[in-house]
């Protein structure tokens, strides 16, 4: 299965220290307007910080009989911001929450061509592996965050993105936008 979890709202956020808003030509999705910011310190280093809030504590380790994780997500990154980032024919990268239970980290894969790796979900080869952090809140919610370099993502200019979340492989929510702040 190409995609897989999580109930949540989503925003790509930058570091709070010296944070500066960078242009985002967002599309409305799931009745909300997305915002993209990159902190000045991250922009100088050529990195983007992503945060995914969950309304519960996600379980990335439990898998069902077909290997789908209880909670998961995928970011689709399209190098051409005019393309639909979740298209199976797009040139870009995929950040796969589906592989946390295998790698203990987030794998960033090339979208194409398809890899023979059984954990790839039908996507391309691994281009980078990045650590992630979880923050658990008193209200039972949680936030997953990670930082990826422009090189990790294969980007050098504006890009389109889609975040899909899943629960045991069933789509829960989808958010999308265009990041134009490089």
Would you say 171 and 164 are in contact if contact means Cβ atoms under 8 Å apart?
yes
Q: Does 137 map to a domain? A: yes
Q: Does 117 map to a domain? A: yes
Would you say 84 and 75 are in contact if contact means Cβ atoms under 8 Å apart?
no
Is the pLDDT at 113 greater than 50, yes or no? yes
Q: Does 26 map to a domain? A: yes
Q: Does 7 map to a domain? A: no
Domain count, the chain: 1
Q: Does 160 map to a domain? A: yes
Residue 164: per-residue pLDDT: 87
Q: Does 5 map to a domain? A: no
Q: Does 43 map to a domain? A: yes
pTM to 2 decimals?
Answer: 0.75
- Distance set, CA 177 to CA 80, 107, 118, 161 (Å): 12, 21, 30, 6
CATH number for 173 = 2.60.40
Pick the residue with more confidence: 139 or 8? 139
Is the pLDDT at 64 greater than 90, yes or no? yes
Q: Does 3 map to a domain? A: no
**Domain extent for 93:** 19-179
pLDDT, tens only, 83-94: 877 666 678 999
């Amino acid at each position: 299965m190409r995609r897989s979890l999580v109930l949540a709202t989503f925003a790509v956020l930058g570091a709070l220290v010296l944070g500066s808003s960078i242009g985002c030509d967002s599309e409305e999705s799931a009745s909300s307007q997305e915002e993209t910011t990159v902190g000045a310190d991250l922009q100088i280093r050529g990195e983007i910080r992503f945060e995914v809030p969950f309304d519960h504590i996600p379980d990335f380790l439990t898998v069902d009989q077909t290997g789908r994780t209880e909670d998961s997500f995928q970011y689709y990154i399209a190098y051409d911001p005019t393309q639909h980032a979740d298209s199976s024919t797009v040139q870009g990268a995929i950040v796969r929450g589906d592989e946390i239970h295998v790698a203990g980290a987030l794998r960033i894969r090339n979208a194409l061509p398809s890899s023979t790796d059984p954990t790839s979900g039908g996507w391309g080869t691994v281009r980078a592996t990045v650590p992630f952090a979880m923050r658990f809140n008193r209200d039972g919610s949680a936030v997953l965050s990670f930082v990826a370099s422009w090189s990790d993502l294969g980007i050098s200019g504006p890009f389109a993105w889609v975040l899909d979340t899943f629960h045991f492989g069933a789509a829960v929510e989808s958010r999308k936008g265009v990041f134009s702040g490089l």
